[in-house]
Structure 1
Amino acid sequence: MLVGIDLGTTNSAVAIWRDSEAELVPNALGDVLTPSAVSVDKSGQTWIGASALDRFATHPGETVTSFKRMMGTEARATLGKRDFSAEELSAMVLVSLMDDVEAALGERPTEAVITVPAYFNERQRRATRRAGEIAGLDVKRLINEPTAAALAFGLTDRGDQEPFLVFDLGGGTFDVSIVEMFEGIVEVRASAGDNRLGGDDFNAALVALAQPRLDADDQLAVMPADRKNALLTQAAEQCRRALTTAHEADFSITINDQAYTTRITTEEFEETVEPLIRRLRDPVLRSLRDTGIDVKSLSEVVLVGGSTRMPVVRKALTRMFGRFPNHTVHPDHAVALGAAVQAGLLSNDEGLEEIRITDVAPFTLGIDSSDEDAHGQIHSGIFSPIIERNTPVPVSRMQVYSTMQANQTRIEMGVYQGEARDVKNNVKLGGMSVRVPAKPRGEEIVEVRFTYDTSGLLEVDVHVPSTGLTKNLVIVDEEDKRSKSEIASSRKALEKLKTHPRDEAENIAAMARAERCYEGFTGDVRDAIGRWITAFKGALDKQDPRIIADARKQLLAALDEIEANPPL
């Protein structure tokens, strides 16, 4: 049996495609949403879902939530007598969902389509796939959450749809996708997002607002930190939900029969979370810029994710788009239902045979390279994009590179994912080395081809035309063990530059702005900004205040022009 699974930060859900429609499967409590929570005591007794969430306030040291934010990292949670990775914790939730399907339908699923945030990087996607494998599932496909939501939305009206925007704000992540539907094709035009923004952050802001008033005399200081934080987090969640339908709500916790309460108004909450609301704008603008679509050209703004219920979010979106957003699809159910639609497609269901999905690469993929400034100095560790973000997949792209040194006999290259100019600020996926004949600088070339498919598999082919040598790399799960030492080495090197002009405030600001612009554009504009950055770095290395001032002026003028008149 093939099922669709929404593996969420706050809640998870499972759905099946049956009798030409997507259907959510209830858990043992009759609910279609299962809290993504795990609790393990010292005896090894395990609770998953609602029962684990109930233990969060009473046994915070034995309970963990929001572990989806740990996916793809080395972070671990200590529960009971052992440590758990995010993949293991997620696998426990997946097993619970499979138990529910077996109890409801009499058959245990063996295959699954699992959703991931559109802005999950490659490590996070591989970790999600591993979680499914640990749970005993053959993960047939990872599908981006906004894409799944678009499928659920699209099936309510099988007619063609002008470009619409899916705004997905969940418990821990935020995604935006621009989607178009025509002649049975669901085409994702662009995706953007923020993996560290969701309902959890709004709760944290509410705690920061309420705690000083709740306990002005710091009476809670004697409590264990994990117990206090768990109580405050639960109170924030309850208060935030109450503010969804009321003008004011109590933020309250009870300890040893002593009640600690403060009243929070809608105005206070909105003022407190304004920095979070501002963070919602950048991914929206980036997705519109990457597609060249104007806000007025969007037919709908579709809301997905439980956190979109907050009035402060809906008000901000109404102001941003000049219209009321569409919330006809259930914000908590849409992603799981869309995953079930994808499962039906993979099963070649007759009712779905006319639907096709195209998706995009959420991040830019490329290699590390070197660049030469106007003064002849070579700068290494520069990101060279090969597949730009929001390129439709599957895709294959090639770039040609040449040697930077005379008599160079080897080319080392790392494979990276991200948007930053310096590769150290992107995610390293792997690396390879190829031998080349010793020749004068620039006379030996290599062809580097990236091939990226819908399942997130990246294949790298390197060809040396002069020798016929070809090397192939398929990105695998092993993390680059040198990354930590490389970062430490970089930090040590920067410590020696305390008096370097690059540390002066004006130069830091100019470089930061240039880096932001580099991440915000693609194609020729990005290449131009990269060249400006290289030139400015070359001026900084001269450590001549007059040269630096002139270079900074030129850089800022160029950035002013680009931002004032962005190309469509």
Structure 2
Amino acid sequence: MLIGIDLGTTNSAVAIWQDGEAVLVPNALGELLTPSAVSVAAGGQAWIGRSALDRLAAHPQDTATSFKRLMGTAATARLGSQLGGKDYAAEDLSALVLSALAADVEALTGERPTEAVITVPAYFNDRQRKATRRAGELAGLAVRRLINEPTAAALAFGLQDKGDREPFLVFDLGGGTFDVSVVEMFDGIVEVRASAGDNRLGGDDFDHALAAFAKPRIDPEARLDALPADRREALLKRAAESCRRALTTAPEAEFAVVLGEERLTGTITEAEFESACEPLLRRLREPVVRALRDCAIDASELSEIVLVGGATRMPVIRRAITRLFGRFPNASVHPDHAVALGAAMQAALLGRDAALDEIRITDVCPFTLGVEVAEQDGHGGLQRGLFSPVIERNTPVPVSRVNTYSTLGNNQKTLEFGIYQGEAREVRGNVKLGHIAIPVPPRPAGEVSAEVRFSYDSSGLLEIDVHIPVNGTERNLVIVDEEDRPGRKELDERRAALARLKFHPREDAAHVALMARAERCYEDHIGDVRQAIGHWITLFAGALDTQDPRSIADARAVLAARLDEVEGSSPL
């Protein structure tokens, strides 16, 4: 079975193609979104999704979120959060989320998925894309295709009526990344004209800005500073998320942190939130300008501005978009669901489903591809380590381009080319993909040239051909996403390590969620109410220990009813 997965920074979702349409698959809690969170206790017991997120405030040292931002980054090849006393790579944690999503599909259909289309930010580089593929492998999924998130969203939006559409812009602001793509639809072709983005800008950053603004107001005596940093940040993050969501429907909201027997609170207005986020709002402009410039389209020529990603629900974001484009955006697609639905549509296209027989997708190369060169500096010396583009960013793929380079030294015997991806003038600011060398006949400088051809396709395969015209010598290098996958032995060892994480039979997702809800309720109250909640938690925990279904069901019903009563008695 081939499925479509939106592997998000904050939340993930999975969809399947069923009866001619894309359908989202609920998790064990009946929710269509699964938090991208993993928590591991010292003994190896693991929680994934909502249950892991609910452990964050109480067990921040054992819980990881937003690890998508660490995918493929050299500085954090291993997570330093010491989850359960052991380090985990970002792709290991992502694999656990992917595995949970696959299990949800199996629970619904009775069939275990074996293949997947996984979405990635359009601005993910080669290392980040390879890390995503590795995560899929570790989860037991053959990754048939990585599809850019705004492309997937455009597919879901564009196929609502399957009609031709003038160029429109997909504005995708998720929990941790920001992408824009300019897309056009005609004659059944979904054509991506240009993409740009910022992999360090998302809803998480707005939460951090809100927390930084609110902390001095709710905690003038800096009592939170006495807490361990991870505990303090977890409390502030949860409060910021709650406050931000409330501000989507109200002009002001409470920012509250429970500290022992006391609640530290303050009121934040929408105007104050917007002011605190002003530096982030300014960063939304540059990727939009770059994408429009690259495809030579003026903003006035866009037919729609389509909103995707949960962070676009924020009124401050929608106002910023309206100011930027001089018009209101289109919010007709579900911001949290569109990407997963588009991934399922891409899966159906790969499976040649008859319902999509006339649909084709074309995408672009998100980063410039080129070689390392040296140039004469005009003063008798050489400036080395420069980047020479061969395929410019936002070139439609598949594509093949050739550049010619010459020797710089007398009697030079070899021409060497480092292969890079990026936009920086110097290669040290770009990502190295590989290296190719070719012998050349010794001649005076500049008399021997090499034709360097790059060919790149939508699956991420890059082929480099180097040809020396004077003697016909040729060399070839193929760089593909699968190239630096771990060896089979390493892959098996890592999959086995993940499989050893213990999932106790009583850790049913519904029970874990109820217990987390009860513990959260306990933290939010003081005095007699807190004591009563603690007693109910103890009774439910005891019932779980009996492993008797009837006792557990009775205790679950009692605890849920008591929590409903407590949560229903709000002072507001």
Aligned to 1:377: 381
What does 1:400-479 correspond to in 2, within 5 Å? 400-475=404-479, 477-478=483-484
Secondary structure of 1:79's partner?
A: coil
What does 1:328-339 correspond to in 2, within 5 Å? 328-339=332-343
Aligned to 1:210: 214
Aligned to 1:110: 114
Aligned to 2:25: 25
Secondary structure of 1:148's partner?
A: helix
Given that residues 25 and 105 in structure 2 are in contact (C-alpha distance below 8 angstroms), is that contact kept between their aligned partners in structure 1?
yes
Secondary structure of 2:136's partner?
A: helix
Of residues 236, 261, 265, the one that matches 1:261 is: 265
What does 1:39-438 correspond to in 2, within 5 Å? 39-74=39-74, 75=76, 76-77=78-79, 78-438=82-442
Question: For residues 301-350 of structure 1, what are the alpha-carbon distances to aligned partners after superposition, in whole Å with 9 as ceiling and x for unaligned?
Answer: 00000000010110011111111100100000000000000011111111
Question: For residues 154-202 of structure 1, what are the alpha-carbon distances to aligned partners after superposition, in whole Å with 9 as ceiling and x for unaligned?
Answer: 1112110000000000000000000000010000000000000000110
Deviation at 1:400, TM superposition (A): 0.9
Counterpart CA distance in 1 for 2:331 and 2:463 is: 39
Question: For residues 421-466 of structure 1, what are the alpha-carbon distances to aligned partners after superposition, in whole Å with 9 as ceiling and x for unaligned?
Answer: 1111111111122221111000011111111111111121212222
Counterpart CA distance in 2 for 1:439 and 1:104 is: 69
Q: Which amino acid aligns with 2:432?
A: K
Counterpart CA distance in 2 for 1:478 and 1:412 is: 21
Counterpart CA distance in 2 for 1:106 and 1:4 is: 17
Counterpart CA distance in 2 for 1:50 and 1:315 is: 31
Counterpart CA distance in 2 for 1:373 and 1:433 is: 24
Counterpart CA distance in 1 for 2:388 and 2:239 is: 47
Secondary structure of 1:83's partner?
A: coil
Deviation at 1:374, TM superposition (A): 3.2
Secondary structure of 1:57's partner?
A: coil
Deviates more, 1:165-174 or 1:291-300: 291-300
Question: For residues 81-129 of structure 1, what are the alpha-carbon distances to aligned partners after superposition, in whole Å with 9 as ceiling and x for unaligned?
Answer: 3111111110000000011000011101001100000000111111111
Deviation at 1:376, TM superposition (A): 3.3
Secondary structure of 1:202's partner?
A: helix
Q: Which amino acid aligns with 1:48?
A: I
Question: For residues 266-290 of structure 1, what are the alpha-carbon distances to aligned partners after superposition, in whole Å with 9 as ceiling and x for unaligned?
Answer: 1111111111111000000111111
Question: For residues 352-375 of structure 1, what are the alpha-carbon distances to aligned partners after superposition, in whole Å with 9 as ceiling and x for unaligned?
Answer: 000000000000000111112333
Q: Which amino acid aligns with 1:4?
A: G
Deviation at 1:223, TM superposition (A): 1.0
Deviation at 1:293, TM superposition (A): 0.7
CA RMSD of aligned residues (A): 1.1
Deviation at 1:469, TM superposition (A): 2.2
Counterpart CA distance in 2 for 1:137 and 1:383 is: 36
Question: For residues 140-159 of structure 1, what are the alpha-carbon distances to aligned partners after superposition, in whole Å with 9 as ceiling and x for unaligned?
Answer: 10000000000100111211
Counterpart CA distance in 2 for 1:167 and 1:220 is: 37
Structure 2: state its 5+ residue gaps.
Answer: 486-572
Question: For residues 485-537 of structure 1, what are the alpha-carbon distances to aligned partners after superposition, in whole Å with 9 as ceiling and x for unaligned?
Answer: xxxxxxxxxxxxxxxxxxxxxxxxxxxxxxxxxxxxxxxxxxxxxxxxxxxxx
Aligned residues: 479
Counterpart CA distance in 2 for 1:219 and 1:287 is: 46
Deviation at 1:377, TM superposition (A): 2.7
Deviation at 1:262, TM superposition (A): 1.4
Given that residues 173 and 311 in structure 2 are in contact (C-alpha distance below 8 angstroms), is that contact kept between their aligned partners in structure 1?
yes
Question: For residues 44-87 of structure 1, what are the alpha-carbon distances to aligned partners after superposition, in whole Å with 9 as ceiling and x for unaligned?
Answer: 00000000000011100000000000001241222113111111
Question: For residues 232-273 of structure 1, what are the alpha-carbon distances to aligned partners after superposition, in whole Å with 9 as ceiling and x for unaligned?
Answer: 111111111111111111111102121111111111111111
Secondary structure of 2:432's partner?
A: strand
Secondary structure of 2:55's partner?
A: helix
Given that residues 467 and 473 in structure 2 are in contact (C-alpha distance below 8 angstroms), is that contact kept between their aligned partners in structure 1?
yes
Question: For residues 384-411 of structure 1, what are the alpha-carbon distances to aligned partners after superposition, in whole Å with 9 as ceiling and x for unaligned?
Answer: 0000000001111111100011111112
Given that residues 398 and 455 in structure 2 are in contact (C-alpha distance below 8 angstroms), is that contact kept between their aligned partners in structure 1?
yes
Counterpart CA distance in 1 for 2:383 and 2:407 is: 14
Secondary structure of 1:430's partner?
A: strand
TM-score normalised per structure 2: 0.83
Q: Which amino acid aligns with 1:466?
A: V
Counterpart CA distance in 2 for 1:467 and 1:81 is: 60
Q: Which amino acid aligns with 2:109?
A: L
Deviates more, 1:83-92 or 1:404-413: 404-413
Deviation at 1:212, TM superposition (A): 1.5
The structure with higher relative contact order (CA 8 Å, sep 6+) is: 2
Deviates more, 1:262-271 or 1:304-313: 262-271
Closer/same/farther in 2, CA of residues 478 and 110 from structure 1, 3 Å limit: closer
Deviates more, 1:286-295 or 1:71-80: 71-80
Deviates more, 1:465-474 or 1:403-412: 465-474
Q: Which amino acid aligns with 1:390?
A: N
Given that residues 52 and 63 in structure 2 are in contact (C-alpha distance below 8 angstroms), is that contact kept between their aligned partners in structure 1?
yes
Secondary structure of 1:80's partner?
A: coil
Aligned to 2:531: none
Aligned to 1:517: none
Given that residues 130 and 484 in structure 2 are in contact (C-alpha distance below 8 angstroms), is that contact kept between their aligned partners in structure 1?
no
Counterpart CA distance in 2 for 1:413 and 1:348 is: 40
Counterpart CA distance in 2 for 1:431 and 1:260 is: 57
Given that residues 153 and 170 in structure 2 are in contact (C-alpha distance below 8 angstroms), is that contact kept between their aligned partners in structure 1?
yes
Counterpart CA distance in 2 for 1:35 and 1:467 is: 59
Structure 1: state its 5+ residue gaps.
Answer: 480-568
Seq. identity, %: 68
Counterpart CA distance in 2 for 1:55 and 1:395 is: 48
Secondary structure of 1:30's partner?
A: coil
What does 1:520-539 correspond to in 2, within 5 Å? none
Deviation at 1:478, TM superposition (A): 4.3
Deviates more, 1:405-414 or 1:371-380: 371-380
Counterpart CA distance in 2 for 1:309 and 1:224 is: 32
